[in-house]
Structure 1
C-alpha cells in the first residue's frame, strides 16, 4: 500500500517506544523539522522546531513515555504516519516526511478538535499498517 518510507516511520515509532534521545536522534534526518498544532488545547511548541537534537527532545516530551499509551503506524494523509492512543482516544496524529530513510519532517496534531475523527471504534482500525 505504501513505499519504503514506511520503514523509516516504523523505525521512528520503535525509537519513540524506547523513548531515548539517542534512538530518536538516530531515526531523524540531521536537519529535521517539527511543527505542532495544539489549538491551545494541549501543550506544544509554539513555532517550528529544527535540528535532530531539538526535534528528538520535543518528540520525547510530547509523544514518548506517556503512561497507558500506544504508538501505532497509521495511514495519515495517504502516507505512513503515527498515532498516539490512550485507550480509544487519539492523543496525537503525526504526518511524516522522510529523506534518505530518516524522518525529516513531522506535523504533530495535538488539537483535540482536529482529532475527533481519529477516535477508535470497536474492531480493527481501517488505516492501521502492519508493524511487520
Structure 2
C-alpha cells in the first residue's frame, strides 16, 4: 500500500518596489512602483513515522523568514536573481531560496518536495502559481 501524500503550507507577506522596464510593457510599468505581496509556499510529502508530520512547520517558517528579509521593503530589481521581478520570477526565486535553505537538512521523508509557490498581489487581484518541477526531492 502506498503512503498518503500531504501538503502543508506557510504564508508570509512583504511590501516592495520594482520597475518592469521591458520594451513593449505599459508605460506605467517603467516607473518605480510598489505592491503588497502575499506568498504561500506548499511542501508535499508523506507523514514521517517518527513525528507524524510532513516536516517541521517551525523550520519552514524560519526559512521563509529569511526569504522575506531579502524581499521586504526592498527594490526587487536589486535583489540578486530578481533583476526582472515579475510574479513568475518572484515565485521561482522563492522556490529556489526554500530549496537552497532546506537541501542540507536531514529529513525522514523520501517524498518531500517544494510543491508549489503562490505569489499574490491581492489588492489588485493578481496571482501566480508556480510548480517547481525542476527541483529534486529534499530527502
User: What's the TM-score once normalised by structure 2's chain length?
Assistant: 0.26
Q: Quick check: which has more Rg, 1 or 2? A: 2
